[in-house]
Amino acid sequence: MHIYETKTFDLPTLEGISDKSVEEHLGLYSGYVKNFNAMTELLQDLAKDSEKNAHALSELIRRRSFEFGGMRLHEHYFAQFEGGAKEIENDSKLAQALTKQYDSVESVVTQITHVGNMRGPGWSILYYDPQSESFHIGFTGEQHQGHFVTLPIIIALDVWEHAFLLDYGAAGKGKYIDAFFKNLNWSVIEKRFENVKKEA
């Protein structure tokens, strides 16, 4: 089985998201990678007596995507800050596609924000469906519940409590989301969208 490695991110100092918060957040990310690999290994071990361990194997299978999601989503998350905050190009393919579906980029940011402010830990995610050439905004509980299956991710906004509690307190999700968008490097987002369009 493939062993995944923890990636490193070239992160600038963020505005409104403290270094300490980022450092702890990166620690959680590496925990997902470590635990995904550990579950993979344990699965192989328990499979040696698959009849006796049938229930344990089932439940590990059921949960592995939690760790995978924690790994992959955080990789999307941190990459969005690399290179520093940068506004969207008004005439980029992404800006045009978003404007076509949502009237304006501001409008889609508002909707992602609303979804991020939903109750409970999770992610507010902008997916793109190449088949229908349309975007979908979804809310993911934990790391693996509620995804739009197979769709590539354009923007991934983490709204677990660990993302904001240290900087803004238990009721501070709204302020954190504002900070998230201030630090976003939209050129990373634009490239994601272009890569998806190329494949489609």
Torsion angle of C-alpha atoms 81, 122, 108, 17, degrees rounded to 10? -30
Minimal distance, residue 118 CB to a second copy, in Å: 5
Residues 28-57 close enough to bind a second copy by CB under 8 A: 28, 35, 38-39, 42, 45-46, 50, 52-53, 55-57
- Report how far residue 196's alpha carbon sits from residue 128's, in angstroms, rounded to the nearest whole number: 8
Residues 63-82 close enough to bind a second copy by CB under 8 A: 63-69, 72-73
Residues 131-190 close enough to bind a second copy by CB under 8 A: 132-134, 136-153, 160-162, 165-166, 169-171
CB-nearer residue toward a second copy: 57 or 88? 57
Q: Which stretch binds a second copy (CB under 8 A): 9-17, 19-27, 79-87, 179-187?
A: 19-27
Burial of 198 (0-12, 13-18, 19+ CB in 10 A): exposed
Answer whether 129's CB lies under 8 Å from 148's CB. Answer: yes
CB-nearer residue toward a second copy: 73 or 177? 73
- Report how far residue 69's alpha carbon sits from residue 193's, in angstroms, rounded to the nearest whole number: 20
